[in-house]
Amino acid sequence: MSQWENNEQSPLSFNPLPSETIPRYAGIATFMRLPHYAPDACDGTEIGLYGIPWDGGTTNRAGARHGPRQVRDASAMMRKVHPVLKLSPFELANCADLGDAPVNPLQIEQTLDLIEAFVTKLTQRNIVPLAAGGDHLVSLPILRALADKHGPMGMVHFDAHTDTWDRYFGGCKYTHGTPFRRAIEEGVLDPKRVVQIGIRGGLYSENDDNWGLEQGIRVIRIEEFNEMGVDKVIETARAVVGDQASYISFDIDCLDPVYAPGTGTPEIGGLTTIEAQSIIRGLRGLNLVGADLVEVSPPFDPSGNTALVGATLMWEMLCLLSEKVAQRKR
Amino acid sequence: MSQWENNEQSPLSFNPLPSETIPRYAGIATFMRLPHYAPDACDGTEIGLYGIPWDGGTTNRAGARHGPRQVRDASAMMRKVHPVLKLSPFELANCADLGDAPVNPLQIEQTLDLIEAFVTKLTQRNIVPLAAGGDHLVSLPILRALADKHGPMGMVHFDAHTDTWDRYFGGCKYTHGTPFRRAIEEGVLDPKRVVQIGIRGGLYSENDDNWGLEQGIRVIRIEEFNEMGVDKVIETARAVVGDQASYISFDIDCLDPVYAPGTGTPEIGGLTTIEAQSIIRGLRGLNLVGADLVEVSPPFDPSGNTALVGATLMWEMLCLLSEKVAQRKR
Amino acid sequence: MSQWENNEQSPLSFNPLPSETIPRYAGIATFMRLPHYAPDACDGTEIGLYGIPWDGGTTNRAGARHGPRQVRDASAMMRKVHPVLKLSPFELANCADLGDAPVNPLQIEQTLDLIEAFVTKLTQRNIVPLAAGGDHLVSLPILRALADKHGPMGMVHFDAHTDTWDRYFGGCKYTHGTPFRRAIEEGVLDPKRVVQIGIRGGLYSENDDNWGLEQGIRVIRIEEFNEMGVDKVIETARAVVGDQASYISFDIDCLDPVYAPGTGTPEIGGLTTIEAQSIIRGLRGLNLVGADLVEVSPPFDPSGNTALVGATLMWEMLCLLSEKVAQRKR
Amino acid sequence: MSQWENNEQSPLSFNPLPSETIPRYAGIATFMRLPHYAPDACDGTEIGLYGIPWDGGTTNRAGARHGPRQVRDASAMMRKVHPVLKLSPFELANCADLGDAPVNPLQIEQTLDLIEAFVTKLTQRNIVPLAAGGDHLVSLPILRALADKHGPMGMVHFDAHTDTWDRYFGGCKYTHGTPFRRAIEEGVLDPKRVVQIGIRGGLYSENDDNWGLEQGIRVIRIEEFNEMGVDKVIETARAVVGDQASYISFDIDCLDPVYAPGTGTPEIGGLTTIEAQSIIRGLRGLNLVGADLVEVSPPFDPSGNTALVGATLMWEMLCLLSEKVAQRKR
Amino acid sequence: MSQWENNEQSPLSFNPLPSETIPRYAGIATFMRLPHYAPDACDGTEIGLYGIPWDGGTTNRAGARHGPRQVRDASAMMRKVHPVLKLSPFELANCADLGDAPVNPLQIEQTLDLIEAFVTKLTQRNIVPLAAGGDHLVSLPILRALADKHGPMGMVHFDAHTDTWDRYFGGCKYTHGTPFRRAIEEGVLDPKRVVQIGIRGGLYSENDDNWGLEQGIRVIRIEEFNEMGVDKVIETARAVVGDQASYISFDIDCLDPVYAPGTGTPEIGGLTTIEAQSIIRGLRGLNLVGADLVEVSPPFDPSGNTALVGATLMWEMLCLLSEKVAQRKR
Amino acid sequence: MSQWENNEQSPLSFNPLPSETIPRYAGIATFMRLPHYAPDACDGTEIGLYGIPWDGGTTNRAGARHGPRQVRDASAMMRKVHPVLKLSPFELANCADLGDAPVNPLQIEQTLDLIEAFVTKLTQRNIVPLAAGGDHLVSLPILRALADKHGPMGMVHFDAHTDTWDRYFGGCKYTHGTPFRRAIEEGVLDPKRVVQIGIRGGLYSENDDNWGLEQGIRVIRIEEFNEMGVDKVIETARAVVGDQASYISFDIDCLDPVYAPGTGTPEIGGLTTIEAQSIIRGLRGLNLVGADLVEVSPPFDPSGNTALVGATLMWEMLCLLSEKVAQRKR
């Protein structure tokens, strides 16, 4: 038998294709080789992996619109059991690929609404959302939908940039450099429960970071990061976000460009994948209600290596989310 | 609404995602953006597009195992109506992506059996099979399954190589250079109803082509092809295969490598895509019962251009098949 | 001496860097190695080459925003004298690189206004504009500016697509698939003096082309093109546009993707570069008042070969424009 | 004089081409620019570098069949003297490129026999074998040949994967994921003298590693590796393999994919090249009787950077082997 | 048995590795899989294939120094029998790979002397030289060596450029744009027996071609080429070079860049490979005493497709040379 | 308004294009988006960024001639304020792109003179030169020009190679492996004030480094580097060069090839970008009178990632230079 059966009326299956018997390059490419269901017909799903193929907020090199498809392809390399956390997300929670959120490449604000509505559909069904972007602006409507359910969110934010700039090109409020300023202004993100990790690169002006710092964001620039070391960073991050509902937003450009050349705004001197994996694992047990992995831009890395990194980090986050889902079921 | 709904119990949908409203890079990558059903649960399907992710018969550069996935990705560029044939395959026949045939990368003969069983499952349900390979050895089990239903097959064979060699590496009978010799020996292919188009490249010995010629195959080498011109080639091909059940097997290396660098055994001096499109269109009305597009090898063309060519030629063949399906329904 | 001196107050120079003494890979990359002047300080310029780094109207794969820079780089390969037309554009007219039109990647309609204002600045100074796009929507504001001076324009339009669709994604009027519908509706393009060459590819519906045909556009699909031959196409094109003010708009996807893989919406089975060069040369003497070369998308061809093709076709068009400028001076 | 003279009857030369006088990109590409002799006519050779162009055991992405040729090309960058070990392998031992082992891309077990016979031919002549793979299954026949001479082998095994799985795809015993299980079962590898370094990535099941651990393999997963540090790892590895005949098997995927993207089963979060070089140097003086460098897959890194890493690590291992050969001569 | 044995004292072998039993990607990469001998120890060789890894005469993009190695790699795709000419070069003449001519990347004139001496060594042994460049300047010392034996040479010259410019960069006489001017001035090339095919691209000045035309060279620009058609071009070329000793020099940039992107000075609008193959075949029977294939520049086409084209054209020329050698033996 | 105005007669502007309003991919590509002036007409310039598009001293893989253009392109990613040093170079000093130094790809010694003359023109106007190479031989004429003004120079030299070899290919004194031997012999470099950081890779002979050590150069090989740590390296470097006029020469191959694959002579096991950035920052306050960034070779990294690294390191050095210029003004 070659494939998961996806149009039965019996209870849905949530098993990924088994790589021991079906080679990884075989079959329709879905996230982690999971079955694909539409959000309207996914009864039983507890964690919904979905794509947001959109880069309408990009100010420099576009291409993240192609991210979900390449990440799906690369995610076929994932296996079932996490070797360090000693758990299998697919046993802890019902996971499925819920397809892509609807988007309009030519309309920014309409798309923000479409994404919010899509995620709201998931949260209303108690499905934990795990997204593959898309540029970083997509985190704004996700946070809106989550805050609607959970209240102002805490966030562990991996990035080379703070993304708290105000406006671009003479007045544009909604760009991939502004989502968290908007989210804080709108009250969907609680700045005192936000930690930003890996920030670096030149500034437009000396005051670039001030607004965020004034709101109470804990910014760990790369120089401080390297001095603190991974364990201290984890400790700080956990302390900042606390016990309440929190989110992980992972911009792939947090990593050094050698690990992730396929992105729009690379900045040299970033995190290694080992560091990123270690920190995510260190967030185990936080009260996570969603996560995203954004800014994978395939045209700038046709090899797919960036997408492999992205897929593996999604897998790491999925492990945390599934454990939390299981805990909540108990 | 973003995606086809694929686990209803009402009659299945066979509409591709509409590119006017859902961008081409969005959504799970299936052939031509069609819904994906398992062969066991695809009631109503009339043409089944499927992949064969396998290159176990390859004697030189492997990689065609990755063909189906990249062709699916590129096929999102197809639209609904053929501008010259003036028809829409999706209106003429119920089309669906039936996933990939099961394969074993480490076992040749077992895989041939698996593929034959998969295609037989389709033919038993009166589904016309349209495959994306895979290396050219996959045509052998397909022909076995088709001949089981239709008797010895005629074939229009596009290729740089005759693929009628006997053995490789001191005794191996089943390779991508031997499928049609085996098919003729087994009686599933009628050599007198076979035409080979685009043959070229050096020979292992002066007698390379003799066996096929002796069986009655009509070989049109590239030099003769260029002298005849497209119209004469079409006329000849139609005359050779006649009115009985026939197959089109399109090895992408039939094309000049500039159009299809992503293949295992490129030979310079081949067909243009315009020539290939014209000939396929010229085969309109033949009694076609299946087709394949093989030897797209993504590792040798990460850009996906070869896959775009392959997907477009699959679309051309799909148009012929759909019209035939519609005629048979009348 | 290594470079043109560009901040004197004596009359400006319009000589390209000489490749006999300064290697092509040396120096700041400007179009054709010409001096770079701002539109406000380019006295004496007769033909202004400029870029439009914008792809905000793109419905599929973005990237044409990077076109001008890569075309500038490739254009260093151009030399001084056209070997067939027997003329040197740099002797016939004062040519300069006028930089890039201002754009906003996040605002469609604002950008159309910015481009129109930029081109109007040129036309007011009697500078003939020659653009490197950018996606095809940029032709709309250029035509607006030109029509303001010259009245409704004729156009020789090279493309795989008619670009006369109405709306995308449920209501978007301004996309790279709609510029010429808008231009005709606005009266800046005279449909009876428009010829479209190289059209091909599947259709969204059977009626895709009808609107344009009803307006009186002469559409030469690729099949008709191949039957007519280049000489007949030239004759037809000249007859259609006539003696009045006309424009050439060259979408690089008119060419077969082997010549131009670096584009957003490739369609197999297109023109060769020899055909394109021949037709452009055949348009010699038309009353041309501007031209553009659009849809070069560097992320999809990092090798720069597409840009080399684009730069060479710009050079071919520059030769026609310069001759016309010289005639008008007499 | 341009090349080594290779068909004299006087004693054979074992000098690499001198890069001070013959540029690195010149000449036939052999390992380290050494003379090429057939194994039947290589009198005096003490270390035989050879290729195994075969990936018939690959379960995911093939391409390692092309490894030897690309590694040969890249190895022209090697020089004569090791700057840290302060030795020149070419002065310590007679080294030669002995070509490629015979293989059959379509037959797994036959190929294992062919490789074993090839290596046995070398061991019978007291030639120390240093291989460039090929996929990791090639280590099995090499170990068979070495154990035939030296008894059960110890091994320092660099890899992201333990390669001690049992079967794939429903019963296949011989794959690149199983060589060391087979080798232990066959008694050619002594599990108590095996150390595995760099293991990581998800598991098929919680018990994946158990079999190896039960046999007594010392597994150093990447997390333990990072805690131990290089010096401790070296100490452990030396203690495990002891004084008896030992082998180094280096799977390039042990390294982080940024150093070695050109491989079939990349796993993020791996060793750096500095770590790998340091550990190999730390193995100096062990009783090494052979080594291999496997899983370089050129189609996934056309730049050749992975091959450069592979060639440099072969050079590091060659230095150890040559010193040992010299010691044994004393 | 895996490899040709190359250090026997019995008569040398001249058989290429058989691709039916040894896969193409196996073994040391030599031209056409032929045995490799040093020029001083190649008794019996009748046609010597050799490389000239040098681009010291390049005025624009360097890289042809890497040409011989990549062409050797690609040439493994060649087989034994020419399907149209119906001959096997390896049966008609003893062919061998004689390695690379010595070169100095930092010294132009010294290198010209080294190449001339190398070729002279071949001609003195009655070995017909077939070179893979290197940039086009390498043809000058080859012609010097050949003329020393045969008198002033005739030449069929395939190229986008005439390569008869006088000087570059203010006085440099020896560049890849000047070899044939120098050869004519030195009397080693007879201009009245030279035909240039495929010339195109812009000119530095109107007089660029005049010098060559005045000497009596027959220049067939691409426009005339396309009007004449292949048969007429062959007829003309044969008439021009006549019965006396002649040479073929094939600059890969004669082809359209889609066939040969890997070259230093691409010009759009060139020959197809089918045209090139047809013309070479049409030169059968001419009194050919050598040939070269130059300007393959691997850094600009890592895929190796350009090298495959180059290797195939070398094979076409080898077939002509071998037939001539056989005729002379009778 | 889109561009800096560059042919006014009022005082020149030295502001880079603002990325907040003009997207980074827009506009002519100059270093750091600075205005471009010719050296003869750049009144007021205090730091001159310039390119040296030349690789005539390269002994292995050429391509650095294309470095300046690709580094200019990548440098558009730089912003205005250094986030750690807390300064803006464009406010501290008048910076401009002064174009490329004149070069001759076919003449080594002439080019050295041309470069020296170009840099002398700058030093005579008190402009601090910051170069983008070009191969490393270009540092020799720069040092000659600087020493003419400042006396024998100190130097912090980042490199995988000492570049103090004597001769190549039997007598060539001027290569990219010899510049600092020549500079020391000529007295323009004071060996006792030279520190070399990151040296590694095999040696031609055991004595390769001896000459430099005997002159008094402080060589920090990579092994010592890793033991010392960044802070100690900075301390040592500062102590070696002292208070007198000093230079930074950064060969991109100092970095590990994963950060800089686009270079001619990669050596595995090098510095990270974080280390490089940290050390450069640690040189703050030294008496720097110039700097260069060399050996970026675009053909070996078409992605431009190497150039991004190069541009960012130029930006780091620019920050030091600008601060020094400002101090001298006080």
Report CB contact under 8 Å: D201, A83. yes
For residue B271, tell me if it sits in a domain.
Answer: yes
**Residue D226 in contact with residue A274, Cβ under 8 Å?**
yes
Based on the structure, what is the number of domains in chain F? Answer: 1
Closest residue of chain E to F300, computed from CA coordinates: E299
For A:238-267, CB contacts with D below 8 A are 258-259
> Tokens 């059968």 label which residue?
E284
Q: Where are the alpha helices (DSSP H) in E32-165?
A: 67-74, 89-92, 108-124, 139-150
- From chain A, the residues in CB contact with D269 under 8 A are 273-274, 277, 312
Asked if D28 has any chain A CB less than 8 Å from its own CB, the reply is no
Report CB contact under 8 Å: E58, F108. no
Q: Which two tokens stand for residue B217?
A: 């195959």
Does D contact E via 3+ CB–CB distances below 8 Å? yes
Q: What CA–CA distance (Å, rounded) separates A62 from C65?
A: 9
Closest residue of chain D to B102, computed from CA coordinates: D169
- From chain A, the residues in CB contact with F25 under 8 A are 60-61
Does A contact C via 3+ CB–CB distances below 8 Å? yes
Q: What is the maximum span of chain E, computed from C-alpha positions, in angstroms?
A: 61
- From chain D, the residues in CB contact with F170 under 8 A are 21
Query: F touches which chains (3+ CB pairs under 8 A)?
Result: A, C, D, E
Asked if C227 has any chain B CB less than 8 Å from its own CB, the reply is no
Torsions phi, psi of A124, nearest 5? -65, -25
For C:298-317, CB contacts with F below 8 A are 302-303
- Residue A223: give the domain boundaries: 35-329
Residues in chain D: 330
Pick the residue of F1, F2, F97 with the most C CBs within 10 A to test the interface with C by mutation: F2
For chain F, the average pLDDT equals 95
Query: C touches which chains (3+ CB pairs under 8 A)?
Result: A, B, E, F
Helix or strand run (H / E) with residue F263: none
- For residues D79-111, one letter each, b for 16 or more C-beta atoms within 10 angstroms of the residue's C-beta and e for the rest, the string is bbbbbebebbbbebbbbbbbbbbbbbbbbbebb
Q: Which two tokens stand for residue B282?
A: 């010229």
For residue D25, tell me if it sits in a domain.
Answer: no
pLDDT (0 to 100) of residue A10: 62
**Residue A140 in contact with residue A184, Cβ under 8 Å?**
no
CATH number at residue E234: 3.40.800.10
pLDDT digits (tens, 9 = 90+) for A108-167: 999 999 999 999 999 999 999 999 999 999 999 999 999 999 999 999 999 999 999 999
pLDDT at C7 over 80: no
Distances (CA, A) of E174 to B62, C126, C164, E154: 44, 46, 54, 21
pLDDT (0 to 100) of residue F262: 98
Q: What CA–CA distance (Å, rounded) separates D119 from D148?
A: 11
For residue A168, tell me if it sits in a domain.
Answer: yes
Write the DSSP string, D68-92.
HHHHHHHGGG--SBBTTTTB-HHHH
For C:162-181, CB contacts with E below 8 A are none
Q: What CA–CA distance (Å, rounded) separates F146 from A103?
A: 58
Q: For residue D55, which of D64, D47, D46 has the smallest C-alpha distance?
A: D64
For residue C4, tell me if it sits in a domain.
Answer: no
Does E contact F via 3+ CB–CB distances below 8 Å? yes
The partner residue sitting opposite B37, judged by closest CB among A7, A69, A105, is A7
Q: What CA–CA distance (Å, rounded) separates F199 from D166?
A: 45
Give A49 or A20, the one with higher predicted confidence: A49
Strands D218-221 and A153-158: unpaired
pLDDT (0 to 100) of residue F4: 41
Closest residue of chain A to F91, computed from CA coordinates: A205
CB atoms within 10 A of CB D185: 13
pLDDT at C132 over 70: yes
pLDDT (0 to 100) of residue B6: 46
Q: What is the identity of the amino acid at A26?
A: A
Report CB contact under 8 Å: E201, C274. no
Distances (CA, A) of C79 to D133, E121, E208: 49, 41, 11
**Residue F310 in contact with residue F296, Cβ under 8 Å?**
yes
Is A163 labelled as part of a ligand binding site?
yes
pLDDT at B202 over 90: yes
Please, which residues have CB within 8 angstroms of residue D214's CB and are 6 or more apart in sequence? none
Q: Which two tokens stand for residue D155?
A: 């091994």
Report CB contact under 8 Å: B29, A69. yes
Q: What is the identity of the amino acid at F153?
A: M
C289 CA to centre of own chain: 12
pLDDT digits (tens, 9 = 90+) for D78-105: 999 999 999 999 999 999 999 999 999 9
**Segments of chain E assigned E as strands:** 47-51, 95-100, 128-132, 153-158, 189-199, 218-221, 246-251, 288-294
The partner residue sitting opposite D60, judged by closest CB among A25, A274, A312, is A25
Report CB contact under 8 Å: C274, E222. yes
Q: What CA–CA distance (Å, rounded) separates B277 from F170?
A: 59
Give the annotated binding-site residues of D for Mn(2+): 136, 159, 161, 163, 251, 253
Name the DSSP class of A47. Answer: E
Residues of chain F with confidence (pLDDT) below 50: 1-8
For residue F10, tell me if it sits in a domain.
Answer: no
CB atoms within 10 A of CB A318: 25
For residue D16, tell me if it sits in a domain.
Answer: no
Is C251 labelled as part of a ligand binding site?
yes
Asked if B268 has any chain C CB less than 8 Å from its own CB, the reply is no
pLDDT digits (tens, 9 = 90+) for B265-276: 999 999 999 999
Sign (positive or negative) of CA dihedral F252, F258, F264, F269: positive
Q: Please give, rounded to a whole number of angstroms, the shortest distance from the CA of E26 to a CA of chain D.
A: 6
Distances (CA, A) of C306 to C259, C273, C312: 6, 11, 10
Distances (CA, A) of E44 to E6, E48, E127, E321: 14, 10, 9, 16
Q: Please give, rounded to a whole number of angstroms, the shortest distance from the CA of D202 to a CA of chain A.
A: 5
pLDDT digits (tens, 9 = 90+) for D14-47: 999 999 899 999 999 999 999 999 999 999 999 9
CB atoms within 10 A of CB D231: 11
Q: For residue E51, which of E112, E102, E120 has the smallest C-alpha distance?
A: E102
- For residues D312-329, one letter each, b for 16 or more C-beta atoms within 10 angstroms of the residue's C-beta and e for the rest, the string is bbbbbbbbbbbbbbeeee
Residues in chain A: 330
Does E contact C via 3+ CB–CB distances below 8 Å? yes
Q: Please give, rounded to a whole number of angstroms, the shortest distance from the CA of F206 to a CA of chain D.
A: 6
Query: E touches which chains (3+ CB pairs under 8 A)?
Result: B, C, D, F
Q: Please give, rounded to a whole number of angstroms, the shortest distance from the CA of F179 to a CA of chain E.
A: 14
Report CB contact under 8 Å: D78, F203. no
Report CB contact under 8 Å: B277, C268. yes
Report CB contact under 8 Å: E21, B300. no
Q: Which two tokens stand for residue E120?
A: 């002279």
Q: Please give, rounded to a whole number of angstroms, the shortest distance from the CA of D23 to a CA of chain F.
A: 6
Instruction: Tell me the pTM.
Output: 0.97
Q: Please give, rounded to a whole number of angstroms, the shortest distance from the CA of B160 to a CA of chain D.
A: 22
Q: Please give, rounded to a whole number of angstroms, the shortest distance from the CA of D193 to a CA of chain F.
A: 29
For residue D324, tell me if it sits in a domain.
Answer: yes
For residue B287, tell me if it sits in a domain.
Answer: yes
The partner residue sitting opposite C268, judged by closest CB among B24, B273, B303, is B273
Report CB contact under 8 Å: C25, F99. no
Q: What CA–CA distance (Å, rounded) separates F36 from F30?
A: 7
- From chain A, the residues in CB contact with D201 under 8 A are 79, 83
Closest residue of chain D to F226, computed from CA coordinates: D274
Q: Please give, rounded to a whole number of angstroms, the shortest distance from the CA of F282 to a CA of chain A.
A: 13
- From chain A, the residues in CB contact with B65 under 8 A are 23, 25
Does E contact B via 3+ CB–CB distances below 8 Å? yes
The partner residue sitting opposite F107, judged by closest CB among E63, E66, E172, is E172
Q: What CA–CA distance (Å, rounded) separates A282 from D236?
A: 28
**Residue C194 in contact with residue C154, Cβ under 8 Å?**
yes
pLDDT in tens, chain E (330 residues): 233 444 445 689 999 999 989 999 999 999 999 999 999 999 999 999 999 999 999 999 999 999 999 999 999 999 999 999 999 999 999 999 999 999 999 999 999 999 999 999 999 999 999 999 999 999 999 999 999 999 999 999 999 999 999 999 988 999 999 999 999 999 999 999 999 999 999 999 988 889 999 999 999 999 999 999 999 999 999 999 999 999 999 999 999 999 999 999 999 999 999 999 999 999 999 999 999 999 999 999 989 999 999 999 999 999 999 999 999 988
Residues of chain D with confidence (pLDDT) below 50: 1-8
Q: Which two tokens stand for residue E241?
A: 């070079």
Q: What percent of chain C stands above pLDDT 90? A: 93
- Residues paired with E247 in a beta bridge: E155, E290
Asked if B102 has any chain A CB less than 8 Å from its own CB, the reply is yes
